[in-house]
Amino acid sequence: MDFWRLLGYSPTSFYTHSSPIDLHPKKPNSRPINLLDLCKEITPPCRLNPFLFNGHLQTFWTAVKSYDIPIYYKRHIFSAEDPTYAGTFAVDFVVEAYKDTDASLPPRTTYYTDNEFDGIGSMDDRPMVVTLHGLSGGSHEIYLRHVLRPLVDSGKWEACVVNCRGCAGSKITTGVLYNARATWDIRQVVKWLREKFPNRPLAGLGFSLGANILVNYLGEEGEKCELKGAVVCSNPWNLDVSSVTLQSTWLGLEVYSKTMGTNMRGLVEQHAEELAKNTRVDIERVRKIKYLFEFDRELQGPTWGYPTEGAYYRDASSCDSLLAVRIPLLAINAEDDPIAVKEAIPFIEFQQNRFAVLLTTAMGGHLSWFESGGGRWFAKPASQFLMKLAQDINLDKLSHSISPLHNGETSTSAIFNPMRRKLQVQSVS
């Protein structure tokens, strides 16, 4: 074992374009700082708990009860505007602490009253982060609160969490769950936030599956994206590679894939009555699955028209979408992550995009990075990146367009379109 692992020290590495974008400080007469230098500036040394010296131990430790990070939410149920993705979804807004919560919802969560929500709009210019959680999670997840806490404690940030349909105590109303490229709900929320809070800079924050969805959204929006910056943590990037790698080892198959499959099967049971209305899905076959890839084969494939789970994974992966991102993006991955595996990280694609920086650590596991005191290291660069952008950078001077995606000129007129999609959704009901 390497000596640095015994001490808990995990080296960090950065990957980006040879000429990352310049960011212009708000302070007059200050020189621009490029995106890579900003990311290095806000990234502290990665020193983790030396007893959790590999990705499996780090990831397993997430099941151990840790100290609490109280975040209070009030929820509003949105109805989808796009009839193609008809249904409802829940958005939880971070609020000041209150006494009466709702026992039917996750801890420290209740619903907005109609009067409260009608008056939610504001002309203030506090930045707001729009957050997406991981597979079968929700706004209550502790990894998510590790990042939100320093932002809201600063008194300068607002935050909300878009819960995937059916997650965090929300209800499914149309027989359709969510998938790894379900960008329609965050798109509607960002549009709504821009109307309700016209002066607030908006940022994105995604974890695991939510990170994959967020990068897909950023790529789809391209130069028109309303977000000013984003952070993604433990993104699985290439879902096909991640799935194959998980199935290649006993731990990957019998621990990680089975646990995630069990979680998704449990989610289906909570909403079985509605999901059974989807005539494309055999709900009894879904109830018999053991592993995550079986769930995707039996539910996601039939729901969205994919012939195999592999076709779904390849279409929903965000590794190509990364090439179309046109806002400052920091991605954080651990190279020993047993779920969002190193083999799936698009190192070369990061070197093709001036707007994106990949920060990797040698250790850290999946959404873990546990330090000796119980904190999670990744919360520091994630929150500091967003704070730095909002407080020190003139976001109005950001240029979102660049020359073609390839380096240099070619002798042909062919241009790769990273946002091509094989799936043409007509109706999912």
For 68, list phi and psi in degrees, rounded to 5. Answer: -85, 150
d(CA 112, CA 120): 10
Tokens representing 159 are 């935050």
Q: What is the pLDDT of residue 5?
A: 66
Query: Pairing state of beta strands 128-132 and 158-162?
Result: parallel
Residues in the chain: 429
Whole-angstrom CA distances from 83 to 170, 183, 254, 315, 426 are 20, 14, 39, 22, 10
Q: What is the pLDDT of residue 175?
A: 83
Q: What share of the chain is helix, strand, coil (3-state, %, to 5)?
A: 35, 15, 45
Whole-angstrom CA distances from 359 to 343, 362, 375 are 15, 10, 19
Confidence tier at 201 by pLDDT (50, 70, 90): very high
Instruction: Find out whether 213 and 132 touch, Cβ atoms under 8 Å.
Output: yes
**Exactly one of 296, 337, 368, 383 is catalytic; which is it?**
337
Tokens representing 245 are 């790698």
| CA angle (322 as vertex; 345, 410 as ends), nearest 5 | 105
- The one-letter amino acid at 167: C
d(CA 400, CA 152): 28
The residue written with tokens 């100290």 in the block is 67
d(CA 232, CA 212): 8
At a CB cut-off of 8 Å and minimum separation 6, what does 100 contact?
Answer: 110
Whether residue 104 lies in the annotated active site = no
Confidence tier at 63 by pLDDT (50, 70, 90): confident
Q: Is the pLDDT of residue 410 over 60?
A: no
Tokens representing 281 are 């899905």
Q: Is the pLDDT of residue 325 over 70?
A: yes
Confidence tier at 419 by pLDDT (50, 70, 90): confident
Please, what is the average pLDDT of the chain? 92
70-124 pLDDT per residue, tens: 999 999 999 999 988 999 999 999 999 999 889 999 999 999 999 999 999 999 9
Q: Is 94 helix (H, G, I), strand (E, B) or coil?
A: strand
Confidence tier at 290 by pLDDT (50, 70, 90): very high
d(CA 368, CA 366): 5
Q: Is the pLDDT of residue 206 over 90?
A: yes
Q: What is the pLDDT of residue 356?
A: 98
Instruction: Find out whether 207 and 134 touch, Cβ atoms under 8 Å.
Output: yes
d(CA 256, CA 208): 14
d(CA 329, CA 355): 6
**Exactly one of 10, 136, 170, 208 is catalytic; which is it?**
208
Q: What is the pLDDT of residue 409?
A: 42
- The one-letter amino acid at 353: N
The beta strand positions in 307-376, using DSSP E, are 329-334, 356-361
Confidence tier at 404 by pLDDT (50, 70, 90): very low
Please compute the mean of the pLDDT values over residues 161-168 and round it to a whole number: 97
Q: What is the pLDDT of residue 401?
A: 63
Q: Is the pLDDT of residue 362 over 80?
A: yes
Q: What is the pLDDT of residue 2?
A: 65
Whether residue 337 lies in the annotated active site = yes
CATH architecture of 69-238+317-342+377-397: 3-Layer(aba) Sandwich (3.40)
Whether residue 146 lies in the annotated active site = no
Q: Is 154 helix (H, G, I), strand (E, B) or coil?
A: coil
At a CB cut-off of 8 Å and minimum separation 6, what does 295 contact?
Answer: 261, 264, 265, 268, 286, 289
- Using only C-alpha atoms, the chain has a radius of gyration, in whole angstroms, of 21
User: For the chain, what are the domain ranges?
Assistant: 69-238+317-342+377-397
d(CA 44, CA 39): 10
At a CB cut-off of 8 Å and minimum separation 6, what does 114 contact?
Answer: none
Whole-angstrom CA distances from 382 to 122, 144, 388 are 26, 11, 10
Please compute the mean of the pLDDT values over residues 129-157 and round it to a whole number: 96
| CA angle (178 as vertex; 223, 111 as ends), nearest 5 | 95
**Exactly one of 140, 366, 368, 383 is catalytic; which is it?**
366
